[in-house]
Amino acid sequence: MLRAWESGIGQGLVQRGLTLLALADPAASPQSLAALSIGERDRRLLALREACFGCRMTGLVSCVGCHDELEIELDTATLRLPSPSLASDVSLTGDSYRLRLRLPDSHDLQACAGVNPEDGVRLLIRACIVDAVVDDQRIVPDAAPAQVLAAAAARLAELDPLADLRLQFACVNCGQRWEVPFDIVPFFWAELDDWAGRTLREVHTLATAYGWTEHEVLSLGTVRRQHYLRLVDDA
């Protein structure tokens, strides 16, 4: 976990997700992890987060109405939706179009990094159009009209709902209702960053007090380490 944290410090959000994924499956190649659908990536990250820190997730959210901060509590098992069972591309047919779609993956997210959100969504949807026929003419995805892109986006969200997970809230103070997107990568990373900071402070304290190496401190296990920390505090 500390090696993953150290590697991820200088990485962007997409690459951090892949670094965290490698914690759960260190034998997998970076390419195979990047090729996972975003929903499958997030399902695995939720399972990993549960293994590292438990199923309970807490945080704060600001009400869009009265701006009060509300404490929220989530459960990883509730958020971990089933993985989509797509063996190949999926077809989508409308009145004037026929599409073949694939689910977005981390390569697609990386290609959208740094783009403003509205343009990024269009870029992502176009990348997931394998083949498009509009008004009986085969077109390139970049030429797909807005209504076709909207239909493709809706179908992709239906196929892989965990890829665009949204949480609904109701303010107990003003009654305002709203929804916000939830991304496990920054949430998990913030927890890992906090854990790493605490762990390194513990290493520093015990190394200073007893002359132990980092490896020796980390090998102690949580119960004994906390006991030694209390002894140092008492002294």
pLDDT tens-digit readout, 58-113: 999 999 999 999 898 999 988 887 766 666 788 999 989 999 999 999 999 999 98
In a domain, 186, yes or no: no
Same domain, 170 and 215: no
CA atoms within 13 Å, Cβ hemisphere of 177:
1
Listed residue (103, 131, 130, 126) closest to 115, CA to CA:
126
Same domain, 73 and 176: yes
**pLDDT at res. 89:** 84
Same domain, 61 and 155: no
In a domain, 120, yes or no: yes
> Whole-prediction pTM value?
0.89
Same domain, 142 and 107: yes
In a domain, 188, yes or no: no
Same domain, 101 and 153: yes
For residue 123, give the 3-state DSSP assignment. helix
In a domain, 125, yes or no: yes
Same domain, 100 and 208: no
Give the total number of structural domains in the chain.
3
Same domain, 79 and 129: no
The predicted-structure confidence for 5-17, as pLDDT tens digits, reads as follows 999 999 999 999 9
Same domain, 23 and 44: yes
In a domain, 75, yes or no: yes
Quote the CA–CA distance of 157 and 125 in Å, as a whole number. 11
Same domain, 64 and 174: yes
Same domain, 77 and 148: no
Domain extent for 18: 2-83+166-181
